Amino acid sequence: MSMRTLDDLDVKGRRVLVRADLNVPLDGETITDDGRIRASVPTIKALTGRGAKVVVCAHLGRPKGQVNPKYSLKPVSARLGELLGQDVACAADVVGDSAVAVVESLQDGQVALLENLRYEPGEESKDDAERSAFAQKLAGLAELYVGDGFGAVHRKHASVYDVPKLLPHAAGGLVVAEVEVLRTLTEKPERPYVVVLGGAKVSDKLGVIANLLTKVDRLLIGGGMTYTFLKAQGHEVGRSMLQEDQVDQVRGFIQDAAERGVELVLPVDVLAATHFDPGAEHEVVEATAIPADREGLDIGPRTRELFAAKLADARTVFWNGPMGVFEFDAFAGGTRAVAEALIGSGGYTVVGGGDSGAAIRKFGLPEDSFSHISTGGGASLEYLEGKSLPGLAALEE
């Protein structure tokens, strides 16, 4: 599997369509975490530095094929401009008159941003013909294509899957880096190899857990999925988050781990709160004795020490998903403890996107103290499941 890179494209004076991942969290028009925008800058700068006319396209949220000002990329174009040190014109549409005019006015080394790809029903359409028709218009705006939105490569969307078939294409630096990291995790991890999984739902991680059980030495479980594991072991979980329909499956994982000699580490204590609120009254309780009227919102102090001990000798660590409701300061301690344990391990540490990356930025921990912080989220998980990702397949052709 080999992908062409930016070095393989002659970009001077040519219009290059860059599919970036700029799907940032917004509070109104304020960007609350610009990590993904910053991650896209090196590829864009590499192209402008070589005299390309760069046309960036991306999605934001789920407008479902309708124009919705709430999901406009205008705030993103302003922030991207600040980071690039030049104005980034934001088209008022995706492939309409405004987009065409904005692209035609670009000089060598300049950058424009198209409006939210998902305003167009063709972007996410399951109908190949509808998707292809939109892809033709998008490809018509440029002469070359660079895929750099790793967070979207697991989707069979027009901008990720169909457009690369229509233009000479290459992978951007972000995609190349992500694939290298994920290959290391799947093909040749140094051992002990420890995976820490958190986040709300077991169902999101079923395939990953099943595949990782064949590869890892230790699996640490925290976050909302903890309670489905505890329930599978027959414990009371009170009002904690629970996926009742996954209990049998999780019971199977517990048995599978035991048979394979994978050490499965679950929380031994949790912070049990009276209700879901930043100021909720809470106490530390045994994980096996959560009161019926309480819900677990974070791993407890003994679990933090246990997890740190299980990470101390790790040579390879993959972490995806917070240990608790880190957005509430009172329930952020577990997630912070895991982040700090990763830094302390001295191993090859990969943080798997989304909330975990946001937590690291919230805590003000230096990002370069981790080997890699993925921008991938769902795409990283699907790669680790062993699935073929449509956007990567298209770039390899």
Gap between the Cα atoms of 97 and 115, Å rounded: 12
Q: Is 155 annotated as a binding residue?
A: yes
CB-facing half-sphere around the CA of 124: CA atoms within 13 A: 16
96 is in an annotated binding site: no
The answer on whether 118 is annotated among ligand-binding residues is yes
Instruction: Tell me whether residue 21 is annotated as binding.
Output: yes
Catalytic one of 36, 53, 310, 336: 36
Residue 327 marked ligand-binding: yes
Is 36 tagged catalytic? yes
Ligand-binding annotation for 36, yes or no, is: yes
- Smallest Cα–Cα separation from 390: which of 212, 205, 210, 163? 163
| Of 278, 286, 8, 293, nearest in space to 145 by CA | 8
Structure token digits, residue 89: 């014109």
DSSP 8-state class, residue 107: P
Measured distance CA(251)–CA(233) in Å, rounded: 7
The active-site residue out of 333, 334, 354, 377 is 354
Q: Where are the beta strands (DSSP E) in 256-320?
A: 263-265, 269-273, 282-286, 295-299, 316-320
- 4, 201, 302, 315: the catalytic one is 201
357 is in an annotated binding site: no
- 51: DSSP letter: T
Beta bridge partners of residue 286, listed in sequence order: 269
- Name the active-site residue from 96, 109, 207, 378: 378
To the query of whether residue 260 is one of the catalytic residues in this protein, the response is no
188: which 2 tokens? Answer: 């040749």
23 is in an annotated binding site: yes
Active site residue 218: no
Helix axes 333-345, 354-363, angle to 10 degrees: 90
Is 62 annotated to bind ligand?
yes
Residue 218 among known ligand-binding residues: no
Q: What is the CA radius of gyration of the chain?
A: 22
336 is in an annotated binding site: no
296 marked ligand binding residue: yes
Q: Is 354 annotated as a binding residue?
A: yes
User: Is 22 flagged in the annotation as binding?
Assistant: yes
Residue 353 assigned as binding residue: yes
Residue 142 near residue 55, CB atoms below 8 Å: yes
Torsion angle in degrees (nearest 10) through CA of 388, 391, 393, 397:
180
Give the span between the Cα atoms of 69 and 88, in whole angstroms.
19
Is 70 among the catalytic positions?
A: no
Question: Which residues, other chains included, contact 93 with Cβ-Cβ below 8 Å and sequence gap of 6+?
Answer: 99, 114, 115, 119
Residues 6+ apart with CB under 8 A from 12: 50, 51, 52, 108
Positions annotated as catalytic residues are 36, 201, 354, 378
From the annotation, which residues make up the binding site for (2R)-3-phosphoglycerate?
Answer: 36, 118, 155
Please give the annotated binding residues, written as ranges.
21-23, 36, 59-62, 118, 155, 205, 296, 327, 353-356
Binding residues for substrate: 21-23, 36, 59-62, 118, 155
- Residues tagged in the binding site annotation for ATP: 205, 296, 327, 353-356
